[in-house]
């Protein structure tokens, strides 16, 4: 495990450290996908360092009714939603209780895909090494939904990487990705934001700017 600071300065700084961990490997036609929105500033640094294609993956958390930040599942623009069955059982919830939230989050996922891609076709991933990057891994529900959607595109290798990961979530995600890379696995993980000095929300405009930036593009986003 690579040495990493306990708290990262910001997403680009964390991305540069993650890129240093990932470079030097014989990647096959790599494509780097940042999970929108916060994963994109991290992913941009990795893509620029690896000389890889950069694009975005969209996965939306499905929250508990009345507690939208408590994610018990996630959904992408297409394909079936993913639910953490053990969490649903623990809370006494049924997927039918979440049908409205699922529909709303799928609609938001489709809006974001349209905003980020426009008329541009998605970057091909079949037969390529695909690195899915986020700014952190807490419950793993959004990452799981994204990885399952990408697995259907038949990548050669499917990797998930993030600067800071909750140990239990990283272990569980190993069933979805061919490899899980975490710079830091703090045992006291509560939320992703606690591992960043600057954790301002990433906007749609910032995502679009990074997707079109040159390798020496804006490092402060």
Higher pLDDT, 137 or 119: 137
pTM: 0.91
Tens-digit pLDDT profile for residues 109-130? 999 999 999 888 889 999 999 9
| Residue 171 · residue 150 · CB < 8 Å | no
Tens-digit pLDDT profile for residues 31-48? 999 999 999 999 999 999
Indicate the average pLDDT of the chain: 92
Q: How many residues does the chain have?
A: 221
Q: Tell me, what's the pLDDT at 125?
A: 97
Residue 2's pLDDT band, with cuts at 50, 70 and 90, is very low
Q: Tell me, what's the pLDDT at 40?
A: 98
Q: Tell me, what's the pLDDT at 217?
A: 52
3-state class (DSSP) for residue 220: coil
How much of the chain, in percent, has pLDDT values that exceed 70? 95
Q: In CATH, which of 3.30.559.10, 3.60.15.10, 3.40.50.2020, 1.10.1740.10 is domain 11-212?
A: 3.40.50.2020
Q: Tell me, what's the pLDDT at 6?
A: 72
Tens-digit pLDDT profile for residues 63-108? 988 887 888 999 999 989 999 998 999 999 999 999 999 999 999 9
Tens-digit pLDDT profile for residues 155-169? 999 999 999 999 999
Q: What's the mean pLDDT in 169-194?
A: 95
Q: What does the angle CA 65 – CA 205 – CA 184 come to, to the nearest 5 degrees?
A: 65
Q: How far apart are CA 191 and CA 112, in angstroms?
A: 24
């Amino acid at each position: 495990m690579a040495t990493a600071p306990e708290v990262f300065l910001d997403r680009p700084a964390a991305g540069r450290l993650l890129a240093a961990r990932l470079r030097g490997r014989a990647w096959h036609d790599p494509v780097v996908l940042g999970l929108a929105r916060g994963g994109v500033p991290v992913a941009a640094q990795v893509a620029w360092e690896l000389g890889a294609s950069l694009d975005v993956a969209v996965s939306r958390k499905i929250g508990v009714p009345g507690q939208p930040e408590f994610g018990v599942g996630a959904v992408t623009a297409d394909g079936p939603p993913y639910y953490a069955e053990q969490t649903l059982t623990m809370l006494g919830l049924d997927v039918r209780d979440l049908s409205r939230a699922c529909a709303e989050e799928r609609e938001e996922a489709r809006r974001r895909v349209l905003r980020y891609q426009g008329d541009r076709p998605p970057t091909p991933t079949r037969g390529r090494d695909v690195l899915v990057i986020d700014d952190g891994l807490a419950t793993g529900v959004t990452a799981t939904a994204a990885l399952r959607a990408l697995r259907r595109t038949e990548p050669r290798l499917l990797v998930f990487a993030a600067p800071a990961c909750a140990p239990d979530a990283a272990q569980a995600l190993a069933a979805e990705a061919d490899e899980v890379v975490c710079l830091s696995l703090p045992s006291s993980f509560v939320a992703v934001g606690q591992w960043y000095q600057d954790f301002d929300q990433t906007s749609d405009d910032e995502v679009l700017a990074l997707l079109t930036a040159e390798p020496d593009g804006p490092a402060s986003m």
